[in-house]
Amino acid sequence: MAKNPSPVSGGRKTPQRFFGKPDTADDQRTPKAPTMVRSRGQVATTYAPGKLFTWEGGRGICLSVPLADLKKPHATQRRMIGEGIDEFVATWAARAANCRPNGAPIYMEQCLDRKFLNGHEVQVDLDAGFEFTNPTKMGYIPYPLLFQCTVCKRLRHYESPETQAKEALPRRCSDHASDWKQVDVVFVHWSGTLEPLTPTRYEYLPNERRVIAYEKCGKCGSDEFTLHNNSTSFSDWYFRCVGCSETSDVTKADKFTRTILGGKQQAGETHEFIEINMLPVSYRANAVQYVQGNRFIVLEDGRRLLLLGPSEHEALAREIATIHNVPFAEPSEVEIQEKLRACGREQEWTEWVELDGDARKEASPGRARAFRKEADAIRQKWFADNLIEKGSVQSSALRQNIALRSAWAKRFDPIRLTLEHATFYDEHVRHKVEERKANNVLSPDRTLSDAVGDPARFADYKRVIGGLLNRSGIKEMVLIRNLPICEYTFGYSRVSPTPIYTREHNNRSVPMPVRLMAFPSLISENSGGSSPIYVLEQDNEAFYVRLDEGQVLKWLEANGVPDLPQLGQLGAAYLEQYQDFKPFMEAYRTREEGQTPRTLCSYIYMLLHSVSHQMIEALAETSGLDRDGIGEHLYPADLAFVLYRRGMTPDLGNISAMWRNQAKTFLGHMMEPRSLRCGSGSLCDARGAACPACILISDISCIAGNQLVSRAALAGGSLPMWEAREGGRDYVTGFFEICA
């Protein structure tokens, strides 16, 4: 077992013997970095591999290194993590690689770690190079191993803790007693590089096509330097050679970027030093490392989601048609059986019935798929032999979208979200309500309302809460006590948390591609260079909310949205009319006068998203949860969304406590005119009625990058910025105006 490494206090200025002789039998087998114990959430984020941190006891600055504690997620979870990483990496690459359309060329290697590439193509293979890991323990090594004598400013650098262990820092430094201090500023680059603040120069050698490091003074050959770092501004810092007193700026090329661009410059491309030079930052700065990851609601039953595979169009159309009441014509089972009997193939019918039943009952997605495949093969043959006529979903628009959807941004793909919602509803609403782990807020138990058991007060509760829900256009609202949320982290970036870093230089702003890095390889004998993917799962409280279709239709009508369906067909219409929102909702991002026409899908999404954000705000006001501590998930074709507590620390029941004590205030807050106005006033109203002072939440919490969200959709107001001003139209009727 790993020893508890709780930091030793004692005020040492320099790290002592991190890699010394092992002192237990266990250590002798793997004399590796020491281990620290932190909460799982901290290991996966605050102390993730590649972070710099210090111990309270002054043991110096350390770098986290990953240790293996392998984990096997179940098949559906594994697939959802895999798909999530695929999408994350692909959209990251698309943004980083295209951030400078008219500037110097950008190469895929500058945007993604090799682990996310196959040659120059984006490809993530979780089976090669990654291991699912429990965030239970983290190793650490002292870093940077760059020390400065506070008396004379001289620097001393070690390549590794082992070399330092062999040759300790000298007690005397020329004519005085030394006083060594770890240098707490490091160089970072958006390519993912982290280096100590040494005066090393990286030069590209055109003939050898590689970069070489010069550690010594170019003039006199001395390898001793002093660092003059008294100024508060890094730009005033400088190195001085001890041998010849020559001074140099505190700049250093990024070896990785110089290697790529050196060759390109040789081939005639123009690149500038601001693409190549690293930035000095304090080890404490956020810029040193931004951990990258994602989260999702855990679904156990993956059978519906299997229909999203490339060859399942027919079965997918049927499933969607069933969920959203799309009519489809198909010969009845009786007819099919009759036909088969008439030509002596009744045995095939029996076989099909058996396989179909097995496919429905089978819990393992792999075996269920195998059964389904066999059953389908038999059925296909009946159609192929012209024995029976093939029934079909009676919506060519839906069929067309099913064929197109593989190219859509996954996050907003309403066909995928429809299947996820159906499974979500089965597992986390219907099933949990039966098990009494979830309650429709109109049928609370004693823990959610003290009116339960008192008929008069309970009637009052139902009347008041029911009235508030009606006026908010909410058809169904369920409090779920234990919604399993999976959070995972799989890599990091430096300098910027997003794919683009804008470097300011001489009054120019030059966009730089930020490289998405996998975590460094696990330290273990048999992990074979794999990077960890940290997986955390936790049950948290959540609200499931579904809007009233009739009210939504009325609102769409009031706003003159074209192509409205009959009541009961809104979900189908969403799926039929949907056009790809694209990964970044490009058509809805504009801050200039818009060009995009209003459509059923954009308006429904905007409505649902705005109610969701408004409810996050109300929840933060009343529950004590932080706005950023609340996650959202939208199911647009089902007019539904989920809000859940995001934390990975034990859930203290803030949401249920809020409901018990303040349900009325909470629902009232949603529609309150005051909370539907913005503190920044008319400026925000004129600019799409959405800003961080009112309805916007932080980009990491929002499922849609804060696009398609507006107070005007709820309270009424001027058009969203993206919308074309057609026919003098300048007003959006608010949803709450319709429901009032």
Under the binding rule (CB under 5 A), the answer on residue 708 touching Zn ion is no
User: What is the number of other CB atoms lying within 10 angstroms of the CB of residue 679?
Assistant: 8
Beta carbon nearer to Zn ion, 197 or 306:
197
In sequence order, the β-bridge partners of residue 540 are 483
For residues 471, 466, 708 and 559, what is the CA-based torsion angle, rounded to 10 degrees? Answer: -30
Which of 508, 637, 662, 526 lies closest to 575 in space, CA to CA? 637
- The first and second tokens of residue 540, run together, are 């948290």
Q: Between 154 and 405, whose beta carbon lies closer to Zn ion? A: 154
Nearer to Zn ion among residue 154 and residue 645 (C-beta): 154
Q: Which stretches of 513-579 are DSSP H helices?
A: 549-558, 570-577
φ/ψ of residue 122, rounded to 5: -70, 125
Kindly tell me which of 241 and 715 has the beta carbon lying closer to Zn ion. 241
The residue (of 43 and 719) whose beta carbon lies closer to Zn ion is 719
Q: Specify whether the CB–CB gap between 730 and 461 falls below 8 A.
A: no
Query: How big is the chain by its Cα radius of gyration, in Å?
Result: 30
Site string for Zn ion, 133-172 (x = CB under 5 A): ----------------x-xx-x------------------
- 678 touching Zn ion, by CB under 5 A: yes
173 binds Zn ion, rule: CB under 5 A? yes
Number of residues that bind Zn ion (CB under 5 A): 19
Structure tokens at 88: 């994350």
* Stretch binding Zn ion (CB under 5 A), from 188-196, 280-288, 675-683, 716-724: 675-683
Binding residue (CB under 5 A) for Zn ion from 81, 321, 438, 702: 702
> Given the rule CB under 5 A, which of 303-311, 388-396, 397-405, 692-700 is the region that contacts Zn ion?
692-700
**Number of neighbouring beta carbons within 10 Å of residue 423:** 19
| 676: contact with Zn ion by CB under 5 A | no
Among positions 246-305, residues that touch Zn ion (CB under 5 A) are: 246
Within 457-496, the residues that bind Zn ion by CB under 5 A are none
Q: Smallest gap, in angstroms, from Cβ of residue 180 to Zn ion?
A: 8
**Rounded to the nearest whole angstrom, what is the least distance from the CB of residue 244 to Zn ion in the complex?**
3
Which residue from 145, 217, 402, 608 is in contact with Zn ion, where contact means CB under 5 A?
A: 217
Residue nearer to Zn ion on the CB measure, 147 or 349: 147
Cα separation of 562 and 326, whole Å?
A: 20
State in angstroms the smallest separation of the CB of 172 from Zn ion: 9
Q: E strands along 442-530, which residues?
A: 474-493, 500-505, 508-513, 517-518
Q: Is 545 in the site for Zn ion (CB under 5 A)?
A: no
Q: Does 686 help bind Zn ion (rule: CB under 5 A)?
A: no
Site string for Zn ion, 40-79 (x = CB under 5 A): ----------------------------------------
Identity of the residue, 69 or 723, whose beta carbon is nearer to Zn ion in the bound complex: 723
| Residue with Cβ nearer Zn ion (204 or 412) | 412
β-bridge partners, 187: 195, 280
Say which amino acid occupies 606. Answer: M
Pick the closer one to Zn ion by CB: 192 or 717. 717
Residue corresponding to tokens 């350390």 = 62
Site string (343-382) toward Zn ion, x via CB under 5 A: ----------------------------------------
Angle at CA of residue 569, ends 564 and 572, nearest 5°: 95
Using left for φ > 0, alpha for ψ between -120 and 50, and beta otherwise, residue 424 falls in alpha
The residue ranges of DSSP E strands in 267-340, in sequence order, are 279-282, 290-297, 328-329
DSSP state of 627: G
Min dist CB 690 to Zn ion, Å, is 6
Q: Does the protein bind Zn ion through residue 241 (CB under 5 A)?
A: yes
Say if CB 441 and CB 479 are below 8 A apart: yes
Contact residue for Zn ion among 243, 263, 497, 565 (CB under 5 A) = 243
- For helices 75-97 and 365-384, the axis angle rounded to 10 degrees is 80
Binding-site member from 168, 212, 683, 693 for Zn ion (CB under 5 A)? 693
- CA 738 from centroid of its chain's CA atoms: 35
Q: Which two tokens stand for residue 248?
A: 């140099």
188, β-bridge pairs: 194, 279
Q: How far is the CB of 199 from Zn ion (least distance, A)?
A: 10
State which residue, 52 or 676, has the beta carbon closest to Zn ion. Answer: 676
Cα first-last separation, the chain: 63
Which residues sit at the interface with Zn ion, rule CB under 5 A?
Answer: 149, 151-152, 154, 173, 217, 219-220, 222, 241, 243-244, 246, 678, 684, 691, 693-694, 702
